[in-house]
Structure 1
Amino acid sequence: MIKMIRVWAAVALVLLLTGCQSSLMTKSGKEATTVAPGGATVVFLRPSSFGGAIQSSVYDVTGGQTTFGGIVSTKTSVQMQVPAGEHLFMVIAENADFMNANLDAGKTYYVLVMPRIGVWKARFSLIPIHNDASAKYNLQSKDFADWKQSSELVVKTPGADAWYQQNKADIEAKRLDYMKKWDRMEPEHKAELTLHAQDGV
């Protein structure tokens, strides 16, 4: 019964995210070029149209404190400005998934929001883009240039923060549920899901 409740809560959250981009996020145009002293910028790119209208939301959940970054739909990007240092980021749609990061002050980092097939709708993962030409996902690749060009920057409207407050309980429940899987993950797998300080530009 509890499992069924969780499934329907996940479906409800996905349905709430579907089609809400136009009212909750608005076009920004350019990435921010300034950041608070001691801060870093993380840009979440979703260049793929796979998953269609299904959207995901991104968060900084460092130390169990959840900060809402925005809603990422197809062909858009969302950026967060956070203090330098170690962070844990989360993406939510049907599932929740996580990514570690160690950020240097004054640098900008890039993350791929990657859709994949889910049970009800598309699921999403956060993939670090490395500043290393030998990495599968890297800043020097033609793919990265294409991803940036095809992902239009959007920012939250006041309605986005209101949406987050209305759905905060479900989001936190999903974070705690999927965190169990993350905590059980092998160290070498977590290492693949980590942004390193040198990955910033």
Structure 2
Amino acid sequence: MKRLIAALLSLALVALTGCATEPPKPMFTEAATQSLPPPPRDKAQVVFLQPINSIQGAAPVALYDVTDSGRTLLAITGAHSKAAVLLSPGQHRLMANHSGMIAHYLDANVEAGKRYYVLVRFIYGRGFQLRPLQTAGGSDYSVQSKDFPSWVSNTRFVEATPEGRAYFEKINDAVTKSQAEGWKTWLEKTDQERAQLTLRPDDATVQ
């Protein structure tokens, strides 16, 4: 009897081993080049910094350009990561979407040939806010902040993988729903609150 039980357990173990699936492929990978090129003359360069730890940054964050009625995936970020994207000069509306659950907006007015920094800021229970980093003033959200050097040095440039893009395409309906809910929240903000979440031409660090 004991031998029969042992044999059955062995068969069960084999079956479970055979059914084991490969771990999911990453939604973003470290970029081959970690150096940041200068912004091109005809585009604005926006660098998103997400220095959050691995626990708080476990779920991926999709960064979109949602100007007008479109929605273009710019990058996917996570813990200790950063992404540099190029935008045409002028007005843009950007969105951070926390895995199709929570969306935050940022208005941007950017100029060609200039570099801007945006902090992908974790807010407990409320996803990730896009906070523009100013070039002047006493704000904590500034390139003059004591934390800015570590935000840059403790993050690595990443690139979205095909699996990551496919994931956010798969949850497209959830992203659309959270985008609408996030827009309601944006409209409820005061002018001062929206101003704090607006990237301006004079926030550029490279000319």
Q: Aligning the two structures, in what range does the TM-score lie when normalised by the shorter sequence? A: 0.7 to 0.9
The question of whether the paired residues in 1 share the 8 Å contact of 2:39 and 2:114 is answered with no
Q: Distance in 2 between matches of 1:58 and 1:160?
A: 12
- Correspondence for 1:169: 173
Q: Could you report, residue by residue, the CA deviation over 1:66-105 in whole angstroms, capped at 9, with x for unpaired residues?
A: 1112221110012221101111111111311111111011
The question of whether the paired residues in 2 share the 8 Å contact of 1:51 and 1:116 is answered with no
Asked if 1:155 is matched to 2:162, the reply is no
Q: Distance in 2 between matches of 1:34 and 1:108?
A: 6
Q: Secondary structure at the match of 1:41?
A: strand
- Correspondence for 2:124: 117
- Correspondence for 1:92: 97
User: CA 1:31–1:168 in structure 2 vs 1: closer, same or farther (change >3 Å)?
Assistant: farther
**TM-score computed with the length of structure 2 as normaliser:** 0.79
Q: Distance in 1 between matches of 2:52 and 2:133?
A: 15
Q: Could you report, residue by residue, the CA deviation over 1:136-177 in whole angstroms, capped at 9, with x for unpaired residues?
A: 211123311110001111012222222232222221221112
Q: Distance in 2 between matches of 1:53 and 1:136?
A: 25
Paired residue total? 178
Q: Distance in 1 between matches of 2:38 and 2:170?
A: 32
* 2:112 alignment partner AA: A
Q: Which runs of 5+ in 1 are unaligned?
A: 1-18
| Structure (1 or 2) with the larger CA radius of gyration | 2
User: CA 1:161–1:32 in structure 2 vs 1: closer, same or farther (change >3 Å)?
Assistant: farther
The question of whether the paired residues in 2 share the 8 Å contact of 1:69 and 1:79 is answered with no
Greater shift after overlay, 176-185 or 82-91?
A: 176-185
Q: Secondary structure at the match of 2:113?
A: coil
Deviation of 1:34 (Å): 4.4
- Aligned partner (choices 54, 63, 68) of residue 68 of structure 2: 63
Q: Distance in 1 between matches of 2:37 and 2:162?
A: 19
Q: Distance in 2 between matches of 1:123 and 1:164?
A: 16
Q: Which has the higher helix share?
A: 1
Q: Which runs of 5+ in 2 are unaligned?
A: 1-22
